[in-house]
Amino acid sequence: MTSVERLYKNFGVLADAKDQATQHEAEYLEILSAVKGENNVKRLAAQFIPRFFKYFPSLSEKSLDAQLDLCEDEDSSIRRQAIKELPNLCKTNNDHLIRISDVLTQLLQTGTLNGLFSQILQGEEAVRECAIKFLSSKLPLELLTKEAEEFLLLETKKLIKRLADRNRPVLSRLVG
């Protein structure tokens, strides 16, 4: 597993190489593999991948996949960092712009839904009631992506098990 020290060493090699960074593919590949590491390593990878992306066009798909994996990480600080860096992947090459915008749209929907479910589980009673009412009557289901729809179904099923009896019929309409 890649360590923080190793990542900084690879960063230094690539940064010092400037336009000859392409000669150090092994170092960049190690940065890409860091997306499977510990949280502090993932945060650095989220910053370093876009920084050197332009030097490795043959690894663009692998790089993009790695960055997008970080956008879906469990740790919110890693997700924020990875999402913040996405525009840097398009600065020198617009080839991936459509894919990145599609992913951002999906993340926005899932993130928004995640916030609603969080309010239902942890919010005050009045907020909980409003969030449940929105989910059951105002949420435009036809506009949701497949991933957001699956997320909605899964989270609603969890809520039905955890919430008071009076909220179950309202939420059951979403599942049905």
What pLDDT is recorded for position 60?
A: 93
What percent of the chain clears pLDDT 70, i.e. is strictly above it? 84
CB 24 within 8 A of CB 48: no
Q: What is the pTM of this model?
A: 0.66
pLDDT tens column, 22-61: 999 999 999 999 999 999 999 999 999 999 999 999 999 9
What pLDDT is recorded for position 51?
A: 96
Domain ranges of the chain: 4-92, 106-175
Distance CA 49, CA 113 (A): 28
Distance CA 152, CA 174 (A): 8
